[in-house]
């Protein structure tokens, strides 16, 4: 079979990821077959919110990246974008641009509609990357493979509480 740069969204194999009652999404790679180096894109489908978990499901926690820009193209459904401390409505045809930065650029997409929210997530796929999670007060760091990349290719992956700081010379007495 000949390799093609054409991807048909309705033919993407979706993998389901969930955590607790608030997080659930099905996603599949758009750019993986072409082995792009600094461009990543995924098709993401977030099921509608359920009565027991108002206002709806979320794919990932509220977070920011210090190395990766992200862009989200809404294909179907309705939702909202948390961006910093603000919320913005989303629906089909909207494009949300989330640049690198600190907590002012933290972002999260929430399905606030009554049907699936389907969007394409695009990332600049830079590594290493540092992420901050303002709701849970933690930091994450990846090297070897960018967030959204292959976990088995990571040479470093850590999540720590933001208040776990130590001084530069801590433990370096020898």
Express each pLDDT in 96-155 by its tens digit.
899 999 999 999 999 988 888 888 888 998 999 999 999 999 999 999 988 888 889 999
Is pLDDT above 60 for 10?
A: yes
> 156-171: per-residue pLDDT in tens?
999 999 898 888 888 8
> 38-88: per-residue pLDDT in tens?
777 787 777 664 322 234 788 889 999 999 999 899 988 889 999 999 999
**Helix, strand, coil shares of the chain as percentages rounded to 5?**
5, 45, 50
Q: Which residues contact 12 (CB under 8 A, 6 or more apart)?
A: 28, 29, 30, 43
Look-up of token digits 């082995």: 35
- In this prediction the pTM is 0.81
Over the Cα atoms of the chain, what is R_g? 17
Neighbours of 139 (CB within 10 A): 18
Full set of structural domains in the chain with CATH:
9-126 (2.60.120.10)
The token duo for 74 is: 């809404």
Residue 68 to residue 64: CA distance in whole angstroms? 9
Q: Which carries the bigger pLDDT value, residue 109 or residue 3?
A: 109
Q: What is the pLDDT of residue 5?
A: 67
């Amino acid at each position: 079979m000949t390799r093609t740069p054409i991807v048909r969204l309705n033919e993407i194999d979706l993998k389901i990821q969930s955590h607790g009652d608030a997080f659930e999404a099905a996603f599949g790679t758009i750019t993986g077959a072409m082995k792009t180096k600094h461009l990543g894109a995924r098709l993401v489908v977030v099921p509608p919110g359920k009565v027991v978990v108002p206002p709806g499901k979320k794919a990932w926690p509220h977070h920011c990246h210090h190395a990766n820009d992200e862009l989200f193209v809404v294909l179907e459904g309705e939702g909202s974008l948390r961006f910093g401390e603000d919320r913005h409505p989303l629906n089909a045809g909207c494009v949300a641009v989330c640049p690198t930065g600190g907590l002012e650029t933290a972002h999260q997409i929430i399905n606030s509609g009554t049907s699936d929210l389907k969007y394409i997530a695009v990332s600049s796929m830079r590594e290493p990357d540092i992420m901050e999670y303002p709701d849970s007060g933690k930091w994450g760091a990846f090297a070897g493979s960018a967030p959204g990349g292959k976990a088995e290719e990571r040479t470093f992956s850590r999540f720590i509480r933001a208040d776990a700081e130590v001084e530069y010379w801590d433990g370096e007495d020898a």
